[in-house]
Amino acid sequence: MPDATHEPREVSGEGRGRLIEFSAELDPSPLPQNNMPLQLTSFVGREREIAELEKLLSGEARLLTLIGPGGCGKTRLALSAASRLAGDFESGVWWVELAPLSDPDLVAQAVARALGVREAPGRSPTEALLEHLENRKVLLVLDNCEHLVEGCAALADAMLRSCPGLRVLATSREALSIVGE
């Protein structure tokens, strides 16, 4: 059945109209994998900070936390840096907004949901995430960790120990205080 997502090709036919058949072939160039929120305004300045974040996340740093008081621009800085790094991570850049959560035990579920990881009977969300991320090169951005520090720290630690291609960029009013931060 034809649909508007495929390139049309003409098929000859008799009658008053033309029959157009759509190819089922998909575009061979894959779309970037991410769920980064779109920004309605440009981000001006802080080029030095963005360049430093890119350098650290492209190098040895596997966990980087932007710390500062509320409203100082941690989220916008993380969003700008992560957007610029999107092409460096084959399995994508994934944004997890944690502000709506109030229970640290729900952090793994929020991350799994953002990554599209489905829950399975007999497996915790953390186990499903570890299996999903095990052999992938991913940048995970955890935004607004301050009220869930324990849950974010425990999950980040477990994922970083099991998933060598994972990088985590967190924003918080306080450090996660785990090894490698």
10 band by pLDDT with thresholds 50, 70 and 90: very low
Flag whether 60 is in a domain.
yes
Where b means 16+ CB within 10 Å and e means fewer, 51-68 reads eebbeebeeeebbbbbbe
Residue 14 belongs to a domain: no
177 in any annotated domain: no
Residues 49, 70: Cα–Cα separation, whole Å:
18
Q: Across all residues in the chain, what is the average pLDDT?
A: 86
Tokens of 119: 């829950």
What pLDDT score was predicted for residue 120? 85
Neighbours of 131 (CB within 10 A): 14
Q: Which two tokens stand for residue 133?
A: 């991320």
pLDDT in tens, 20-59: 554 455 544 454 478 888 777 776 778 899 999 999 999 9
As a whole number of Å, the end-to-end CA separation of the chain is: 52
116, part of any domain: yes
Q: Residue 19: which pLDDT band, with cuts at 50, 70 and 90?
A: low
Query: Is residue 12 predicted with pLDDT exceeding 70?
Result: no
Percentage of the chain beyond pLDDT 70 is 81
- On the question of pLDDT at 136 being above 70, the answer is yes
CA triple 86-87-90, angle to 5 deg: 95
Q: What is the pTM of this model?
A: 0.80
> Considering its fold, how many domains does the chain have in total?
1
Residue 162 lies in a domain: yes
Range of the domain at 148: 47-172
Assigned token pair, 111: 């991350």
pLDDT for 44: 73
CATH number, domain at 59?
3.40.50.300
User: For residue 18, what pLDDT is reported?
Assistant: 60
| Residue 68, in any domain of the structure | yes
φ, ψ of residue 60 to 5 degrees: the values are: -85, -25
Instruction: Give the tokens for residue 68.
Output: 């500062």
pLDDT, tens digit (0-9, with 9 covering 90-100), for 65-108: 999 999 999 999 999 999 999 999 999 999 999 999 999 999 99
Q: How many other β-carbons are positioned within 10 Å of the β-carbon of residue 18?
A: 9
Q: Are 168 and 181 in contact (CB under 8 A)?
A: no
